Amino acid sequence: MALDSKIPHGPLKDKWTDYKNHINLVNPANKRHIDVIVVGTGLAGGSAAATLAELGYNVKAFAYQDSPRRAHSIAAQGGINAAKNYQGDGDSTYRLFYDTVKGGDYRSREANVYRLAEVSANIIDQCVAQGVPFARDYGGLLDNRSFGGVLVSRTFYAKGQTGQQLLLGAYSAMNRQIARGKIEMFNRHEMLDVVKVDGKARGIIARNLITGEIERHSAHAVVIASGGYGNVYFLSTNAMGSNATAAWKIHKKGAYFANPCYTQIHPTCIPRSGDYQSKLTLMSESLRNDGRIWVPKNIEDSKALQQRKIKPTDIAEENRDYFLERRYPAFGNLVPRDVASRAAKERCDAGFGVNATGEAVFLDFASAITRYGKTQAKIQNIENPSDAKIYELGQAIVEEKYGNLFQMYEKIVDENPYETPMMIYPATHYTMGGVWVDYNLMTTVDGLYCIGEANFSEHGANRLGASALMQGLADGYFVLPYTIGDYLSNEIRTGKIPTNTPEFDEAEKEVTDRINFFINNKGEHSVDYYHKKLGKIMWDKCGMSRNEQGLKEAMVEIKALREDFWKNVKVPGSASEMNPELEKAGRVADFLELGELFAKDALNRNESCGGHFREESVELDGEQKGEAKRNDKDYAYVAAWEYKGEPADAVLHKEILEFKDIELKQRSYK
């Protein structure tokens, strides 16, 4: 099948405007006769459902949580990017576009990224109008902070609760439409299959997670906004319930999948404390604005820390290795996420880890607290302040900026991060791969759309932060409501889609047979037994560091694990009740299939990019294994990476190749 991305002709800066000017529309009187299903109610799904309903469409929204406000978007902490240039530091639509393309290692679809940069400012205006309490500076303007890998401050934030506040904004917009009857909300419902009629997506099969009832729902179009698949690694920063089922089901019904092996490794996660853990917790990247990352210079000190014979504060300043500042002086602790993650892993692999597992580095705020304290003492005209007073004043500033994050860390680790440095370690976070979509956000199945993290289009092999919230809200508020009208304009005479058809019968039977298998199979191992084994294979052989032998082994091991799963998995309880183990069984079955595709994709990409280092692909200079040759003036991977093949949809545009402040070797992709 030839993929048609439907990218409009013309210069990048004019594509979206010209496209909107000529797209087909549905008039207001006809919208009330058209039904749309939205699966997932995080930032992408929630904003899409609210906007489509506001336009007049009849929306059915599905969430496996007990409320849309519990979608995993609520866990996003650090901020959302937008090119409003409030800081006057040179930001622009083009600069955000360029940084996002570069941050994706030049594997993003540029037309989509430019559109994203264009609408980013509108997102902030929309959210402010909804009452989202973004931080403000002394003059009353919205405040910004820096994130890794960029040279401007464009990240809008609400302390460490940005995702929560943005989601509450979308949720309030949804509630308005629920009250008006334009959104029919289905909480505690999980989509288990999509239904196609004459090649078009016409509905879904869903399970009521409380009663176990299997339900049929029809619509003129289906929108998947179910988030990413980071839990294929078992341990990740994702919510325990985050899964790939909706995206994987539509893939098996004809929607193409793209770049499954691209996952983002986040450098500032609270380290695991043992093999019994089932969840990792993220510390916002914004902490790297003020926190300094270090390990001991002497391996003896690291061993003593691992054995708890000494405290971090016992190690003198001259015996600390601030390795990011040493290696990357231009960006210091705010290098891109992949660089920070790889550097931390390298230090820990070399034996310099600082916790009991040897998988942690320090994130230290002592310097920032002292710096802020001295400034506050000046402001308050305190002469000759004591060290204790300086620390007290500085701590108050840090607490104001990051207080809830410090609180969360202390509750989890049981250590006060104001008195002893935080510990962090890289962990699977965001997934850039996903369902292939065209410029309209439609999959390769007519009438089936995919938005937010569930699709692949904007991020390439993303190494940056604060992009995910931007894409989710851009798709939901400003892109899909336009592009879906182009398709639905041909559906105004279709009428209600019936559910008593052979296509719905067949899809429901497939779902029911699968559920019955899980309930009736008399295996000996729990679902988590298989999920943990899959996660270990994925992290060890398909994680930050990959090689040909390991990836081939992973494919064989995952296949064998999947075969054993279908023979020996045990699911207690029944199908006619709330049964979390049954839910997990279906999700892990999908992860086992996705995991093998993931490894196959990684094997076919003989390259290092994003958060992944392909060990045998290049000869690299530098003390850090996996450290790219770099241009310190404008951090970028240059001549070290070699690529083969050429992608449809990802060829570098002339505009990028002519951008003068970065030296690029001609790249192509596999």
Give φ, ψ of 550 to 5 degrees. -60, -40
Q: How far is CA 554 from CA 233, 586, 600, in A?
A: 13, 21, 9
Cα separation of the two ends of the chain: 18
Q: CA-to-CA distance for 155 and 80, rounded, in angstroms?
A: 5
Cβ atoms of 270 and 424 closer than 8 Å:
yes
Which residues, 6 or more positions from 480, have their beta carbon under 8 angstroms from its beta carbon? 48, 51, 52, 223, 441, 449, 451
Write the DSSP assignment of 465-496 as a string of letters: SS-HHHHHHIIIIIIHHHHHHHHHTT-TTT-P
Judge residue 332's burial from the number of C-beta atoms within 10 Å of its C-beta, 0-12 exposed, 13-18 middle, 19 or more buried: middle
Q: CA-to-CA distance for 410 and 389, rounded, in angstroms?
A: 23
CB 125: neighbour CB atoms within 10 A?
A: 11
Q: Which letter does DSSP use for residue 351 in this model?
A: I
Catalytic one of 95, 272, 288, 337:
337
Q: Is 188 a catalytic residue?
A: no
Q: What is the 3-state secondary structure (H, E, C) of 249-267?
A: HHHHCCCCEECCCCEEEEE
Which residues, 6 or more positions from 228, have their beta carbon under 8 angstroms from its beta carbon? 238, 242, 244, 430, 431, 434, 453, 454
Evaluated on CA atoms 106, 252, 586, 210, the torsion sign reads positive
CA 270 to chain centre: 17
Q: CA-to-CA distance for 531 and 278, rounded, in angstroms?
A: 10
Among candidates 200, 193, 172, which has minimal Cα distance to 248?
193
Token readout for 203 is 């509905």
Amino acid letter, 173: A
Going by their DSSP bridges, the two strands 422-431 and 263-269 should be labelled as antiparallel
Q: Which residues are identified as catalytic?
A: 337
